[in-house]
Amino acid sequence: MAAGQGSTGEAAEAMLPASVRHALEVADTRCARAGAQLTALRRQVLALVLEAEQPLGAYALLDKLKAQRPGAAPPTVYRALDFLLEQGLIHKVERLNAFVGCVEAGHDHDHHGHAHPHQFLICRDCGLTLEVSDHGVAHAVAEAAAKAGFTAVHATVEIEGRCAACAAKG
């Protein structure tokens, strides 16, 4: 359990889906290995992102966090999000200015800087956002950059379209 997490945090966490609880434990272990601390607050913000069905903006996260921490303020959320991004536990979907859990955050392995390729498929009708990790896309982007004399360090591809459910509706 994260340091400083009281009985209220424990009760709230016990009600989370098993997959989210597992991802939180793995995140705690990954942070400790990196010499970082997943504090109770950071853990709560991560849990909110992981349990959300859609990407959440910082103020939506703040509203949800205030249910557990009435005194929470925007800087509180932004600092936690910065930490979670730095640790590779979440991603920012720029198109939506929102945050989503990393699909690999629940896996117990080291990303050496979290450089796994990721692309987002964003439904323009319902907002569904899926993270995919296609090495072929990442290779194509790096190759195109190299042809232009540019060394790609990091790339996030965001693709807007329609999900299968919305396409089926017509």
Do residues 31 and 37 touch, judged by C-beta distance below 8 A? yes
d(CA 41, CA 45) in angstroms, rounded, equals 6
Give all strands of the β-sheet with 129-132 in edge-to-edge order: 129-132, 118-123, 156-161
| pLDDT computed for residue 110 by the predictor | 45
How does pLDDT run across 40-98, given as a tens digit for each residue?
999 999 999 999 989 999 999 999 999 989 999 999 999 999 999 999 999 999 989 99
Write phi, then psi, for 120 (nearest 5 degrees): -115, 135
| pLDDT computed for residue 9 by the predictor | 62
Q: What is the pTM of this model?
A: 0.79
Position 6 pLDDT exceeds 80: no
HSE-CB for 12 with a 13 A CA cutoff? 19
d(CA 128, CA 147) in angstroms, rounded, equals 34
Element (H or E) spanning 32, and its range? Answer: helix 18-33
Q: Using CA atoms in the order 113, 72, 21, 32, what is the torsion angle rounded to 10 degrees?
A: 40
Total residues belonging to the chain: 170
Dump strand ranges (E) for 32-167: 90-93, 98-101, 118-123, 129-132, 156-161
How does pLDDT run across 114-153, given as a tens digit for each residue?
456 789 999 999 989 998 888 899 889 989 999 999 988 8
d(CA 64, CA 76) in angstroms, rounded, equals 13
